[in-house]
A and B are shown apart, each in its own frame.
Chain A
Amino acid sequence: MLASNRVRSRPRPPIRSLGWWSHGVLIALDVEPSLVAAVRRVLPPGRAIAPPETPHRRFVVEHDASGFTLRRDGRRLQHGLARTDLLDALASAVQLTVATLAPDLLFVHAGVVAWRGRALVIPGRSTSGKSTLVAALVRAGATYYSDEYALFDASGRVHPFARPLRIRRARGVTRVDPQKLGAPVGRRPLPVALVLSCRYRAHVTARLAPLTPGQTVLALLRHTVAARTRPIDALDRLSMVAKRARALYGVRGEARSMAERLLAELT
């Protein structure tokens, strides 16, 4: 009881307000000053701005004896978080907000690399092995665009979303600057040459079959963040991609051999 009272009477740390602009979405964040540098590192590509009075979404981080609490527009998203989990949760929540609300670009959950001026798009959910394949492609010489989202503009070209690469290791996920792997990072939008919809399976030889343009649209749409909120726009953009790009689906084995095969396909 005494401990509980002590917790309640502990003074709240001061809060610092931040503003962040990313792909046309205004985000406000209220966090402790000690978290500011770490929070900025996990935010999606964009730039710091003055705290907006009317942001699209406001995130608030509170801290008490049970850990960190994350709120979005007043609604509690998670609580009792350790610092590392808070940063992961905040990164995810802000990224999802940007992906949902970005007015000019369509966010599809996918890895993207470029090879000789054209893009390879690998749609897939988390843990589908996308990041591993993107890392292998980058090590094989491809230009890094994203391991999380393919951003399609109105003409069907794909834009970079170049956050550090997620590399899974036995003890968890680490983020690696692609330039440390010796990879160039893409800056300009590119037409899509190939869409690869595949699942990883250990110790198998890759088996891939072509997709028709209509099936390609479905393969992309099932990973499109705004599929329900902007279906017309999504179908228009993805149809443009599907008409111009080849598409393959199936299972793949180890990332390295798959990366070599894919780059050969694109050559």
Chain B
Amino acid sequence: MKPQARTDLLLRDLDGEAVVYDFSRNEAHCLNATALAVFRRADGTIDIAELARRVSADLGTAVDEELVWMALAELDKAHLLSTPLPRKRGVDLGRRRVLKKMALTAALSVAIPAVWSIVAPTPAYAATAVMCTPANNCPMGNPMDLCCGSMGVPAGACSNGLCAAAPPGSFCAGKTCQ
């Protein structure tokens, strides 16, 4: 198993961690130092044992294979690896088990690998100015349209032409949401 990180991503370093932007999925991810070290070293040419050795050297502290697997699982979940990890590896990637093991064996000298992710918003979603739609004017087929709430602000999404999630009694322009 020689994991390979994707190379078609935008990466910005930020004081030991990094933010990665995935153009194909419109997602952004924050990698902490441990996840970033594994991401940088996973070039598809070295196996897990060698990866652990190199990441240990980069971080200046011992990193075992289980922690590398954990980082790979986080990267895989965020779709940051070229090839998805095999489902059965004989290694338990459960965060609780790793944490328990680390707590039993030594004080943590390296951060547990972590990847935080968001979906980049569309312009309408990001803006205040999401226009809200009167209940009886909710268009079909555009989930970004929002129904008006009781104060004329968005309060629910249009779904199949209905203001599905608007709270009971919401209204806009004198029209009660359905």
**Cβ A243 vs Cβ B15 within 8 A:** yes
- Known contacts A221-B28, A243-B14; is A95 also within 8 Å of B122 by CB? no
A227/B121 in contact, CB under 8 A: yes
Q: Which of B112-142 contact A (CB under 8 A)?
A: 116-124, 126-131, 133-134, 137
Provide the bound-state CA to CA distance between A185 and B21, in Å: 35
Residue of chain B at shortest CB distance from A67: B173
- CB pair A227 B126 closer than 8 Å: yes
Q: Are B10 and A78 touching (Cβ within 8 A)?
A: no
Other-chain contact of A224, B14, B126, B137, B172 (Cβ < 8 Å): B126
A86 to chain B, nearest CB (A): 10
- Give every chain A residue within 8 A of B127 (Cβ-Cβ): 92, 95-96, 99, 107, 109, 225
* B19:A217 contact, CB within 8 angstroms: yes
Taking a contact as CB atoms under 8 Å apart, the answer to whether A239 and B123 are in contact is no
Known: A82-B174, A109-B128. A214 touches B19 (CB 8 A): yes
Q: Which residues of A contact B137 (CB under 8 A)?
A: 78-80
Q: Give the size range of A's interface with the partner.
A: 35 or more
A96–B123 CB distance below 8 A: yes
Q: Which of B61-69, B93-101, B147-155 contacts A (4 or more CB under 8 A)?
A: B147-155
Q: Are A126 and B130 in contact (CB under 8 A)?
A: yes
A206 contacts partner chain B, Cβ-Cβ < 8 Å:
no
In the assembled complex, the CB of A179 is this many whole angstroms from the nearest CB of chain B, namely 22
Residue from A148, A221, A225, A236 within 8 A of B118 (CB atoms): A221
Measured between beta carbons, the chain A residues less than 8 angstroms from B30 are 212, 214-215, 217-218
A79 to chain B, nearest CB (A): 7
Contact A85 B128 (CB under 8 A): no
Question: Nearest Cβ distance between residue B138 and chain A, in whole angstroms?
Answer: 11
Cβ of A236 and Cβ of B129 under 8 Å apart?
no
Does B18 count as interface, using CB distance less than 8 angstroms? yes
Please state if A228 and B129 are interface contacts (CB–CB under 8 Å).
no
| Residue of B30, B119, B129, B155 ringed by the most chain A CB atoms within 10 A | B129
Cβ–Cβ < 8 Å partners of A100 in chain B: 123
Pick from B15, B19, B21, B152: contact of A172, CB below 8 A: B152
Within 8 A of A (CB), among B1-52: 10, 12, 14-15, 17-19, 21, 23, 26, 28, 30-32
> Cβ of B133: which chain A residues have Cβ within 8 Å of it?
78
Interface residues of A (CB under 8 A from B): 77-82, 85, 88-89, 91-93, 95-96, 99-100, 107-109, 125-127, 148-149, 168, 172-173, 212-215, 217-218, 221-229, 231-232, 235-236, 239, 242-243
Which residues of chain B have C-beta atoms less than 8 A from A168's C-beta? 151
Bound-state CA distance A189–B154 (Å) is 31
User: Complex Cα distance A172/B149, Å?
Assistant: 10
B121 touches A214 (CB 8 A): no
Pair A213/B17 contact, Cβ less than 8 Å: yes
Contact A85 B152 (CB under 8 A): yes
CA distance A223 to B116 in the complex (A): 16
A-B residue pairs in contact (CB < 8 Å), sample of 17: A85-B152, A92-B129, A93-B131, A173-B153, A212-B14, A212-B30, A213-B14, A217-B19, A218-B118, A222-B118, A222-B126, A224-B120, A225-B121, A228-B123, A231-B28, A235-B21, A235-B28
Contacting residues, chain B, for A96 (C-beta < 8 A): 123-124, 127, 129
In the docked arrangement, what's the CA distance between A172 and B174, Å? 13
Distance (Å) between the CB of A131 and the closest chain B CB? 9
Cβ contact within 8 Å between A228 and B128: no
Chain B residues near A242 (CB, 8 Å)? Answer: 14
| Chain B nearest CB, measured from A237 CB (Å) | 11
Interface centre among A95, A227, A232 (most CB of B within 10 A): A227
Q: How far, in whole Å, are A249 and B157 apart by their CA atoms in the complex?
A: 26
Interface pair B118/A99, CB less than 8 Å apart: no
By the criterion CB–CB under 8 Å, are B121 and A228 in contact? yes
Contact A235 B12 (CB under 8 A): yes
